[in-house]
Structure formats: C-alpha cells, structure tokens
Amino acid sequence: MEDGEIRHVHRKVFLPTYGLFDERRFFAAGDVVRAVPSRLGVGVGIAICEDFWHLQTPQLLALDGAQILLNVSSSPGRDLAARNDVGLGTATSWRTLMRTYAQLTTSFVVFVNRVGVDESVTFWGGSEVIGPSGEAIFSAPFFDEGLFLVDVNLEDVRRERITLPLLRDERLELQARELGRIIAERAGLATDSTADAGAEPGLDVAPSASVREGDGAGARDRAGARADEPIRLRSRRR
C-alpha cells in the first residue's frame, strides 16, 4: 500500500509441503510474479517466505524492474548446532540466500522474519537488510521482537549495476529457449538427446544405469556386483 491505495498484491507462488509444512492442503498457489513502481523512484518486488527458496523468484522480480526485493517470512528455527555459522541452521541458510540474491541481482534485499513462539513452534527473527553488493547493512537480533528503521542509499543500486552489469548481460532469449525445451522434455513432448537410454519421460537417468544379468535380489551386473548392494568408492593405490 502507498498513499492510502493498494498498489500491488502478491499471492505466494511456492507453497511448501514437506517436513512440518502442509500449505498445499489448505491453499492455492499464486501464479504471478511482478515488480511494482513506487514513489521512492525504484521498483519493489515482494515475495513470501518459500518464494525465495526458488531462484527464479528474485531473478524475475529484478528483471521486471525491482531494485528492492522484499521477503516477508515466517521461518521456524531448526538445526541448532555449533557447526552452523550463527548456531542456527535455518538462519545460516537464509543469510546465504539473501546475500547471494542481493549480489546476483545487484539489488537491496530486505528480509523480514517473524519472531516468537506459536503452538510450540519457535520463530527466530533475525531480519536483515542486504546491500546490492551482498554486504549486510543491518541484522536484527535473534528471538527478540523489535521495530527497526534502516536508512539505505538507493544510488548504491545504480553504482553497483554499472560496475557489475549482470542483469544487463542476462541472455533471456537463451533462457526462454532452453526452458521451452526442458518443459517439452519433461512433458514427454520432445526427445531428450542427453538422457540415458530407457529413462522415463522427464528424467535424465534410467532406473538402472548398468546392464544386469538375471533379475531379483541376487542379480549381479557385469562387474560382478550384486544389484542390491550399495555403491562403494575405493581409494586408488599408486
């Protein structure tokens, strides 16, 4: 909303249905990804949580004119372990995504995450503002509610896109052509010349890559290995 009017509505495009998520059971997915102009003089691209786990979302928004990518998220905290950069696997993953998208699209990325506990699910907060060079301008604390105001210099986008013209050099005609080919192959409407012989439509690898003699659990391939044995890697001796 801007100046008391609805400027744009984004309906979540990707609905997570795995692990503790079951969104497809209750919702229908949106099918539009659009950037919208604002009185700030820049385009804004809005996404919701899982949308940013699919790289086409930030790419499409940036190509459509967005210089600020805004992700509103309800990310639950998972994978507490010292091996993670900040002790929380979810936060490590999100931070990696946000910095990567900011740099590849040379855009500001604003990540706004829910915080608190709801029905035993903990939301970790950690909202961030990432500059178009991929560097964090602001990082909110974990697990604490807060209202944070962050000043950004929108000229940074122009400077970064002149220095690193990634969006300018994207070959969209190549992408459109190859996506058309992939869609046709997945639908079984075209032959995939790079797939294994015997692969099912839409798949590149055949159910069994090696030629096996006999069948059943005791079958062996021509190298003498049992069909039901796991593949083992051996070190090469000099």
Does pLDDT of 212 surpass 50? no
Report how far residue 22's alpha carbon sits from residue 229's, in angstroms, rounded to the nearest whole number.
35
What is the rounded end-to-end Cα distance, in angstroms, of the chain?
68
Q: How far is residue 113's CA from residue 124's CA, in Å, rounded to a whole number?
A: 8
pLDDT band at 33 (very low <50, low <70, confident <90, very high): very high
Contact between residue 57 and residue 68 where contact means Cβ atoms under 8 Å apart = no
- CA 227 vs. chain centroid, Å, equals 36
pLDDT averaged over the chain?
85
Query: Which uninterrupted H or E stretch holds 136?
Result: strand 136-139
- How many C-beta neighbours within 10 Å does residue 33 have? 21
Rg (C-alpha) for the chain, rounded Å, is 23
pLDDT at residue number 176? 95
- What is the band of 229 on the pLDDT scale with cuts at 50, 70, 90? low
pLDDT, tens digit, 9 for 90 and up, residues 34-60: 999 999 889 999 999 999 999 999 999
Share of the chain above pLDDT 70, in %: 82
Domains by residue range for the chain, with CATH? 23-166 (3.60.110.10), 174-237 (no CATH)
Q: What angle do CA 202, 204, 208 make, to 5 degrees?
A: 115
Q: How far, in Å, CA of 82 to CA of 66, rounded?
A: 36
pLDDT value for 177: 94
d(Cα 31, Cα 12) in Å, to the nearest integer?
Answer: 8
Q: What is the residue whose two structure tokens read 């604003």?
A: 110
Which comes out higher in pLDDT, residue 213 or 188?
A: 188
Structure tokens at 31: 């099918």
> What single string gives the DSSP state of each residue in 99-165?
HHHHHHHTSEEEEEE-EEEETTEEEEB--EEE-TTS-EEEEPPBS----------THHHHHHHHHS-
pLDDT of 223 above 50: no
Q: Tell me, what DSSP letter sits at residue 122?
A: E
Q: Which residue shows structure tokens 């590849």?
A: 104
In the numeric block, the tokens 């740099």 are attached to: 103
What distance in Å separates the CA atoms of residue 98 and residue 58, rounded to the nearest whole number? 10
Q: What is the predicted pLDDT for the residue at 4? A: 93
Rounded mean pLDDT of 223-230?
52
Considering 76-80, 142-146, 204-208, the range whose residues carry the highest mean pLDDT is 142-146
Q: State both tokens at 114.
A: 């829910």
Is 50 in contact with 29 (CB distance < 8 Å)? no
Confidence of residue 222 (pLDDT cuts 50, 70, 90): very low
Predicted pLDDT of residue 211: 44
pLDDT at position 66 is 96
